[in-house]
Structure 1
Amino acid sequence: MRERVRAWRTAGIAVLGAAALLTGAATGAAALPAGPVTGAAAGDDPGDGGPDGGGPEDGGDLGDGGGPGAGGVSSPTRADLMKAIQGTAFAYAKYRAYAAQACRENLPDVQALYERVARVELREHLAEQARLAGLAGDDAANLRAAISGASYEAKAMYPGFAAQARAAGDRNAARLFSEIAEDEAGHRARSARALRALEYPSSGASVPVGPVARSVSVPEGSPQVSSRTLEDLRAAMRGEALAHARYGLYAEHARANGRPRLAMLFEHAAQVELTEHFAEEARLAGLVRSTAANLCESAAGETAEGTDTYPGYARQAAAAGDRAAAERFSEIARDKLRHAREFKDALSGLRANCPDGG
């Protein structure tokens, strides 16, 4: 079980595209170079980043960034907030899948527990971390961040994953990665059209709303790919979970600004990321196991975050003088330990034990 928890943590380091997206709206720039934007998906929209077709702005590191959305915290604290946001977004998506498995096993109490903890992760932990980090900018900045992120995934990340999967003989994964790259190109083009409509209202451009997502189930299973492709799937899942959460924040911002069609564009994109992309990747990665195994993994992860990760973030924030962030990190650490106890109690109720005795 410890190996499984360690593997999920390691996967988070590989999400370069997701890391870029985290700083995009807050700084008005992408943290990774998007590269030249060419071809039909790019078009000549203002969202391409200017006459040369490059990304909004190149350069910058994860966790760095000033600008109007930076949230007023130090760079080290903001870096920790960004890492926390990535982990929280993944926990929400994962716990939803675990809740569905508990439902299939006719364990309504465990299902309700996972659903409740997932809501806390998204509506409390992630929302507050995003506010402190200044994750969402104005609507135009959010669209530019979406364009940059989708462009990176469509042109670099997913094609690279697909090539590696083909080389490893993982044909289903290669096909899925290629399909998601096409989806991301479509989202990038729709976001560019929306940005044009927003910035040039006299152009006659309208804000598209995007396709309605399919719902893909994630049954219990083992990984269906090689170890190398599994690493890419785990990285991709974290990126999709993050995109779902980020687009949800952007949608709330757009709706509050009186732009319901833009809110729908972000909401539809968010659901595609979660119920299609994340779910399809999770099926191949063997994310979901039996409910007993899921509870073991959840309890171990929440314990590690509550005893090590978040207290460490809190100490660093306090040392940097970021009092509000330090207090919030400490509160989340307490929540994590409470959730760990609840998962362990649920496991005891099943009269089950973890393989390592945890």
Structure 2
Amino acid sequence: MFRHSIRTFAVGLSALTAAAVPAAPALAGGDPAGASPAPHTAGRALHAQTIADLTTTMKGEAYAHAVYGLFAAEADRQGLPAVARLFRSTAQTELNEHLREAATLIGMVGGNAANLRQAIDGETYEHEVMYRRFAEQARADGDLEAAKLFSEIAADEGRHRNAFRTALEVVTTGRGTIPEPPKADVVPVPAGLPKVKAARTKANLDTALHGEGLAHAKYMLFAAHAQQTGNAALARLWEGTAEVELREHLAGEAVLAGLVRATRENLDKAITGERHEATMVYPGFAERATAVGDSTAARFFRDTAADQARHAAAFQKALDQLG
């Protein structure tokens, strides 16, 4: 997708979000409370640069999944079902293949307790630091609608953190009840121009969009692990929170950012990004991984580059057919 080529990383939606990420492989020894492996166990043998490149990959692929879902919904609104299907199928590849493989290489999914601790840390940062700062900056820059949204999301992330803390207590002690999952207030994302004016607000929206996309993807992987280990209530909590991150938070931010345009422009953006990844980003990652002996990661990056080239060709064909 175009995530590497037109923006930097910091950390309407359709039926895409109804499709759960396939279950991650079972961890050896099961998942007893308090005895789960920590995240990144599999990544310890990797070179630091490879880990950084895999982390960038996960952010990008999660974001691509989310944005292609939005583009698909817009194609549906324009009466272009074939283009919508192309965006959706590509989104699934980005999420269920590329991101999942990168997550496996880096060892992102641990046991239920470790996954909850990882999420608590992230939600705490977003609640106490990131979104509060973004709201203050947007208010100072006169982007009052963005300031309001950032403040609302900060409050939501605090509730998510608290629910995860309760769930962690249940998982580690065996006492209590996993909280009920939150319900997303689904935000439609029609094509439109940005609704903010300050460059700082636009940059903060970009950071937030990437963060929400990654949170959704991670939580769906964590949900699959919880389901696999027999904790259906925890799986529901992960899935419900993932829906809020994607269909409410990311969608609201996408409206303000003017992320979705007419389908022709959306296809053009996708082509540019996929080509950049196919020819520059992933080959560069592969070269670096090869140089430090991370051959499995290098092969993953090469395979992903080939996939992105095919995506670019498919999007180009769809654009050409629009006339």
The reply to whether TM is greater than 0.5 is yes
- Tell whether the 8 Å contact from 1:5 to 1:300 is kept in structure 2 after alignment: no
Instruction: Tell me, in whole angstroms, the C-alpha distance in 1 between the residues paired with 2:287 and 2:207.
Output: 28
Aligned-CA RMSD value: 1.7
**1:78: Cα distance to partner?**
1.1
Query: Aligned letter for 1:310?
Result: Y
SS in 1 for 2:49: helix
The answer to whether 1:135 aligns with 2:82 is no
The answer to whether 1:312 aligns with 2:284 is yes
Q: Which runs of 5+ in 1 are unaligned?
A: 16-46, 48-64, 352-358
- Tell whether the 8 Å contact from 1:151 to 1:188 is kept in structure 2 after alignment: yes
SS in 2 for 1:70: helix
Query: Aligned letter for 1:9?
Result: R
Q: Which runs of 5+ in 2 are unaligned?
A: 12-33
The answer to whether 1:221 aligns with 2:192 is yes
SS in 1 for 2:43: coil
Aligned length: 296
Bigger shift: residues 236-245 or 207-216: 207-216
- Tell whether the 8 Å contact from 1:69 to 1:137 is kept in structure 2 after alignment: no
1:212 is matched with which residue? 183
The answer to whether 1:149 aligns with 2:122 is yes
Instruction: Tell me, in whole angstroms, the C-alpha distance in 1 between the residues paired with 2:80 and 2:267.
Output: 12
Report matched runs for 1:150-169 at 5 Å.
150-169=123-142
Q: TM-score, normalised by structure 2?
A: 0.88
Higher relative contact order (CA 8 A, sep 6+): 2
**1:79: Cα distance to partner?**
1.1
The answer to whether 1:182 aligns with 2:164 is no
**1:73: Cα distance to partner?**
2.1
**1:69: Cα distance to partner?**
4.4
2:23 is matched with which residue? none
Instruction: Tell me, in whole angstroms, the C-alpha distance in 2 between the residues paired with 1:309 and 1:5.
Output: 11
**1:349: Cα distance to partner?**
0.6
Instruction: Tell me, in whole angstroms, the C-alpha distance in 2 between the residues paired with 1:145 and 1:160.
Output: 22
Work out which of the residue numbers 80, 85, 91 in structure 1 matches 2:53: 80
- When residues 108 and 320 of structure 1 are mapped into structure 2, their CA distance, relative to the original with a 3 A threshold, is same
Instruction: Tell me, in whole angstroms, the C-alpha distance in 2 between the residues paired with 1:329 and 1:189.
Output: 37
Which string of whole-angstrom CA distances, capped at 9 and with x for unpartnered residues, describes residues 181-216 of structure 1?
Answer: 000000000000000111112xx4211132122321
SS in 2 for 1:214: coil
The answer to whether 1:295 aligns with 2:267 is yes
- Tell whether the 8 Å contact from 1:5 to 1:297 is kept in structure 2 after alignment: no
- When residues 88 and 207 of structure 1 are mapped into structure 2, their CA distance, relative to the original with a 3 A threshold, is same
- Tell whether the 8 Å contact from 2:40 to 2:109 is kept in structure 1 after alignment: no
Work out which of the residue numbers 62, 83, 92 in structure 2 matches 1:110: 83
Which string of whole-angstrom CA distances, capped at 9 and with x for unpartnered residues, describes residues 328-352 of structure 1?
Answer: 110100000110111111111111x
Which string of whole-angstrom CA distances, capped at 9 and with x for unpartnered residues, describes residues 238-265 of structure 1?
Answer: 0000000010111111111111111111
- When residues 103 and 71 of structure 1 are mapped into structure 2, their CA distance, relative to the original with a 3 A threshold, is farther
Query: Aligned letter for 2:7?
Result: R
**1:8: Cα distance to partner?**
3.9
Report matched runs for 1:2-17 at 5 Å.
8-10=6-8, 12=9, 14-15=10-11
The answer to whether 1:249 aligns with 2:221 is yes
**1:66: Cα distance to partner?**
8.8
1:232 is matched with which residue? 204
Instruction: Tell me, in whole angstroms, the C-alpha distance in 1 between the residues paired with 2:254 and 2:149.
Output: 11
The answer to whether 1:328 aligns with 2:297 is no
Instruction: Tell me, in whole angstroms, the C-alpha distance in 2 between the residues paired with 1:66 and 1:184.
Output: 21
**1:325: Cα distance to partner?**
1.0
Q: TM-score, normalised by structure 1?
A: 0.80
Instruction: Tell me, in whole angstroms, the C-alpha distance in 2 between the residues paired with 1:176 and 1:66.
Output: 31
- Tell whether the 8 Å contact from 2:74 to 2:263 is kept in structure 1 after alignment: yes
2:244 is matched with which residue? 272
